[in-house]
Amino acid sequence: MGFFLPINYQEPLQSTFCQFTTSSMRKNPIWQQLTELAQQDDRKNLAALWRNPNRQETLVFEFGDLYLDLSKNWLDDEVLEVLCQLAEHANLKIAIDDMFNGQVVNTTDQLSASHTQLRNPSHPSYQLNTEKLFTLADQVTSGQVKTAFGKPVKQLVNIGIGGSYLGPRLVVEALTELQSESLIPIYFAASVDDSLINQLFKSIDIEHCLFCISSKSFSTVETLMNARAIQAKLKEVKGYQPDQQQSSLMAITANTPRALKAGIPEYMILPFDTTVGGRFSLWSSIGFPIVLAAGKDEFKDLLAGAHLMDQHFQQQPFKQNLPVLMALLSIWYRNFIGLSAYSCLPYDARLRSLPKWLQQLMMESTGKMHNISGEVINYPTSPWVFGDHGQLSQHAFFQAFHQGVDALPLDFIGVMEDNSSSQNFLLFNLIAQGAALMQGKEEDQSMKGCPGNKPSTTLLLKNMTARSIGQLLAMYEHMIYTQSVIWNINCFDQPGVELGKSIARDIQQHVENDSLNEMGLDPSTMALIRKVTELKNDSID
């Protein structure tokens, strides 16, 4: 039996010119020099690298509320120097200026990337953004905005996925736990899953709840399905009377006409510009749940921290530039050492969503096979990103870190503030894990021994404030942009996200029309669809 491809499948773009241009990166003298350096054993031997008495001094960096220790990495002055030359060869400084000056950097859609403008208090976009957010937030918290039951808003459910969910949730969790309680408690609905939606309805007071549909395009399938489910639930509740004066629904979108068509009153729509990328959008109207949960001052501090990092990224030379250093280190490991994974490990429960946010930011931005000219590349880009709360991870996958044959870059993230003894114990665990990975331990019983020489990065926040969180998140954003410039890819598009969704919609349509055989799917997929539909029919019978 032959193998059948989906009807929309296309072969990857191939051309002689493409092969020449992508291979030219590997032929670049700087690239070749880094390749040769990576093949020298001492470059991957932390004991040998630490023979340099100045190592601690030269590989530890401080800026704002961040303390970055790169000294436990397979990195030395010579490698760092050549990596900086690679960044210069990629015209990184020009690319940085282009982004901040509003030039086209999203070459796929021919758009600028304006998320940094939203946190620059001297830019007109800053004032427009904060005014509309704060005005509606004041109306909600003062009781002026009423739900469709005529009740004041006491809760908000954010209905969104991807960048409309991960960033706001991360910041809401980080900031609201600094206070005794949220100004307005926030709930999040992302997955299209009946069990989660039903559980949500059991947790909220529906008559006092505002449902916020967050979608840049207002066409995201999962978000709209959840929105329709909530609308149906609202209609079942006695006293539901939506009109132009009271509404249980609001929207945050770059497509106001679609939100209006869906029945959202205009005064309950917070727009943002199409030049703001979804996973870079928590600084925009998408951050409305942050304002409701933590307050206007906290949101302004968040923006201020990010803007401080923006200035650092623009102004500092590469060797002292935190986002650039993080990006160069990741490229060294990915392209020259050959490590294919990357882990983010916050040792603070308030940052528990940071790994998922970074996973989307990095993998959706730089998981690309085409350069900005549309040519297929022949070098790896995004690593596989994963992580969890640090101490929980110690009892999950750290065994593989210590005794597995592989190594991978690890970011240990901690918070230095007036901690309790238990919080200090978390930090001691963070420090100990980095030391143990580097030093290892010899044992008479060999199975208990750990080889050591495993690299890691330690990143400490001086405190847990909105300002420090803004610096941290902006640093990672600029790290990803730097990677994309050096890899010559576009970090602001995500064409691969749509393929599976498109096939899912086609399957659903063909199942409903009883025309599945017309899709030309492979036998495995056909059998799975039949299994699922047979089970559904059996349950109906």
* Domain CATH for 292: 3.40.50.10490
Per-residue pLDDT tens over the stretch 315-342: 999 999 999 999 999 999 999 999 999 9
pLDDT value of residue 8: 37
Q: Are residues 354 and 433 in the same domain?
A: yes
Catalytic residue among 364, 370, 454, 478: 364
Residue 7 placed within a domain: no
CB 450 within 8 A of CB 441: yes
Q: Are residues 374 and 294 in the same domain?
A: no
Nearest to 491 by CA among 323, 341, 353, 346: 323
Per the structure, the complete domain to which residue 414 belongs is given by 20-89+325-438+471-487
Q: Is the pLDDT of residue 11 over 60?
A: no
Check residues 409 and 504 and name the one with the higher pLDDT: 409
Q: Is the pLDDT of residue 464 over 80?
A: yes
Catalytic residue among 261, 501, 531, 536: 501
Task: Give the mean model confidence (pLDDT) for residues 237-245.
Answer: 89
Lowest mean pLDDT among 221-225, 354-358, 366-370, 438-442: 221-225
Q: Are residues 237 and 269 in the same domain?
A: yes
DSSP state for residue 11 in the 8-state scheme = P
User: Rounded to 5 degrees, what angle do the CA atoms 395, 326, 43 make?
Assistant: 85
Task: Give the mean model confidence (pLDDT) for residues 74-97.
Answer: 98
Q: Are residues 126 and 208 in the same domain?
A: yes
Q: Are residues 163 and 293 in the same domain?
A: yes
pLDDT value of residue 181: 60
Share of the chain above pLDDT 70, in %: 92
Q: Name the packing angle between helices 296-315 and 166-176 (round to 10°).
A: 120
Cα–chain center distance at 537: 39
Residue 534 placed within a domain: yes
Distance between CA atoms of 423 and 463, rounded to whole angstroms? 12
Burial class (CB in 10 A: 0-12, 13-18, 19+), 422: exposed
Check residues 38 and 245 and name the one with the higher pLDDT: 38
DSSP state for residue 120 in the 8-state scheme = -
CB 291 within 8 A of CB 453: no
For residue 412, the cross-strand partners are 345, 458
pLDDT value of residue 535: 55
E-assigned strand segments in 143-196 = 155-159, 186-189
pLDDT value of residue 327: 98
Share of the chain above pLDDT 90, in %: 76
Q: Which of the four pLDDT bands, split at 50, 70 and 90, describes residue 275?
A: very high
CB 412 within 8 A of CB 433: yes
Q: Is the pLDDT of residue 396 over 50?
A: yes
Q: Are residues 177 and 282 in the same domain?
A: yes
Q: Are residues 154 and 238 in the same domain?
A: yes
H-state helical runs in 367-465 = 390-394, 398-403, 421-439
Catalytic residue among 11, 27, 395, 512: 395
Residue 104 placed within a domain: no
Domain count, the chain: 3
Q: Which of the four pLDDT bands, split at 50, 70 and 90, describes residue 2?
A: very low
Q: Are residues 480 and 344 in the same domain?
A: yes
Mean residue pLDDT across the chain: 90
**DSSP for 50-71?**
TTSTTHHHHSEEEETTEEEE-T
pLDDT value of residue 180: 52
**DSSP for 214-229?**
E-SSS--HHHHHHHHH
Residue 446 placed within a domain: no
Q: Are residues 483 and 504 in the same domain?
A: no
Q: Are residues 265 and 157 in the same domain?
A: yes
Task: Give the mean model confidence (pLDDT) for residues 61-83.
Answer: 98
Per-residue pLDDT tens over the stretch 168-199: 999 999 998 655 566 899 999 887 777 888 88
**Residue 261 bears catalytic tag:** no
DSSP state for residue 12 in the 8-state scheme = P
Task: Give the mean model confidence (pLDDT) for residues 371-392.
Answer: 94
Distance between CA atoms of 156 and 182, rounded to whole angstroms? 11
Q: Are residues 347 and 264 in the same domain?
A: no
Q: Are residues 356 and 427 in the same domain?
A: yes
Residue 310 placed within a domain: no
**Residue 352 to residues 50, 175, 355, 435, Cα–Cα distance (Å):** 32, 12, 7, 23
Residue 459 placed within a domain: no
Strand-strand pairing, 60-63 and 66-69: antiparallel
Distance between CA atoms of 29 and 47, rounded to whole angstroms? 29
Q: Is the pLDDT of residue 147 over 90?
A: yes
Residue 4 placed within a domain: no
Task: Give the mean model confidence (pLDDT) for residues 37-56.
Answer: 96
Residue 443 placed within a domain: no
Check residues 219 and 521 and name the one with the higher pLDDT: 521
Q: Which of the four pLDDT bands, split at 50, 70 and 90, describes residue 18?
A: very low
Among 159-168, 253-262, 309-318, 445-454, name the most confident range: 309-318
**Residue 395 bears catalytic tag:** yes
Count the neighbouring beta carbons within 10 Å of the beta carbon of residue 528: 13
Nearest to 123 by CA among 311, 313, 315, 361: 311
